Amino acid sequence: MSLFGVTLGLFLPLFLGFIAGFDQSSFSKYYFTNAKYIYLVSLTIISISFIALNKKWFIPSLSLMILTHFNCRDYEVIHNVSAFVFFVSSLMLIVNDKRYNYIGRYILTAIPLLFFSIYWFELVCVLLITIFHILYLNIILKKK
């Protein structure tokens, strides 16, 4: 499950873009396109894989699940707070990791993108969070 979820996280931006276009203002806007069900199912799987991989990821996992299922139009406050919690709690876990904390610094350097495009900020962060999980999963698989 974790390997599938992590791999899905790496390719989800491409899947969504090819189905509904790369012109969305944020990832959350894919909820309102013909890629809605891929968006919902994929982010649910990714959320579950985060917590399956490491119990420390409970808060990011839960907040990702909430923001996925409470869309950004009808539940704007819940969605945006959950997105904020997801990115901040993910960043905190990555920065506090002894092996891969440099990925957290890369995420921090992506913050200025928020002034230009939420989509590009989210894209960079999602890819970096996914890379962190791939590296972490690699360690787990080597131990087995």
Q: Are 71 and 79 in contact (CB under 8 A)?
A: yes
Q: What are phi and psi of 63, to 5 degrees?
A: -65, -35
Q: Which domain holds residue 47?
A: 2-143
Residue 91: both structure tokens together: 């960043």
Split into its structural domains, the chain has a count of 1
pTM confidence score: 0.92
pLDDT value, residue 123: 94
pLDDT value, residue 140: 77
pLDDT by 10s per residue, the chain, length 144:
577 888 888 899 999 999 999 999 999 999 999 999 999 999 999 999 888 878 999 999 999 999 999 999 999 999 999 999 999 999 999 999 999 999 999 999 999 999 999 999 999 999 999 999 999 888 877 876
pLDDT value, residue 53: 79
Q: What is the DSSP string of the chain?
A: -HHHHHHHHHHHHHHHHHHH-S--SSGGGGGGSTTHHHHHHHHHHHHHHHHHH-GGGHHHHHHHHHHHHS-TTTTHHHHHHHHHHHHHHHHHHHHT-TTTTHHHHHHHHTGGGGGT-HHHHHHHHHHHHHHHHHHHHHHHHHH-
pLDDT value, residue 7: 85
pLDDT value, residue 89: 97
